[in-house]
Amino acid sequence: MDLDDDDAMSNGDLVAPLPKIPVPDDVADAVRTLIRWAGDDPAREGLLDTPKRVARAWREYCSGYDEDPAHHLERVFEEVGGYDDIVLLRDIPFQSHCEHHMAPIIGKAHIAYLPTNWVVGISKLARVLHGYARRLQVQERLTAEVADCIWTHLKPRGVAVVIEASHACMTARGVRTPGVSMTTSRMMGVFRDDERSRREVLALMGQK
């Protein structure tokens, strides 16, 4: 493996790399300062290219700032054969970073909505999630942002979002308690107002 080209894409990769962007000197210097403060020498061979790699990685981690997730919900389909029941996308993997320690948040989301007169392509639900996840986040806000976006732009009868995630700021530092996950949910419309509908969607999501 060529360590000078960590962005190279093998034939088995599913996602094309972002173009290599120029890294401002002050950003690279900031990473060098952090390496030095952590106790290592940014001038040693193995760390020479690390500042630029880290800078480009963070541009990728936070690429959600460059997009409006609602854009993915603009195209809808009305020819659904009269379908008017729950639409659910389960177990969507995602990665984010907490805004308190900039440590990884890794988990999965379940997104459901009860359509009115139209539906959206299912991949768009995942794109909305990733658009918000690729920012500095807290899980509670991420859950609310995804649900609110779908509610506002699809105008369904109900929206349900459940997110389960592990936080490295808890598992790798501080209390250092691995194997712990956090669950957050947001229910809107009929999923909030009608207990039977809420139980149904949570059962479909595999939630007890």
Is 97 a residue of the active site?
no
Q: Is 110 helix (H, G, I), strand (E, B) or coil?
A: strand
Active-site residue, from 139, 145, 149, 164: 139
Is 72 a residue of the active site?
no
Is 100 a residue of the active site?
yes
Active-site residue, from 72, 97, 130, 167: 167
Residues 8/37/136/133 CA torsion (nearest 10 deg): 30
Is 71 a residue of the active site?
no
Active-site residue, from 98, 149, 164, 200: 98
Q: Which tokens is 53 given?
A: 């790699």
Helices within the chain (DSSP H only): 25-38, 50-61, 122-133, 139-154, 168-171, 190-193, 195-204
Q: Which residue shows structure tokens 């991949």?
A: 123
Q: Which residue shows structure tokens 């732009």?
A: 153
Active-site residue, from 62, 67, 101, 207: 101
Is 169 a residue of the active site?
yes
Active-site residue, from 62, 67, 153, 169: 169
Is 200 a residue of the active site?
no
Is 98 a residue of the active site?
yes
Active-site residue, from 67, 99, 153, 207: 99
- The DSSP result for 53-101, as a single string, is HHHHHHHHHTGGGGS-GGGGGS--B--STT--S-EEEEEEEEEEEETTT
CB–CB of 156/113 below 8 Å? yes
Determine which helix (DSSP H) or strand (DSSP E) holds 183, and give its type and residue range.
strand 182-189
Nearest one of 146, 137, 142 to 103, comparing CA atoms? 137
Active-site residue, from 71, 74, 95, 100: 100
- Between CA 47 and CA 27 the distance in angstroms is 15
Catalytic residues, by residue number, are 98-101, 139, 167, 169
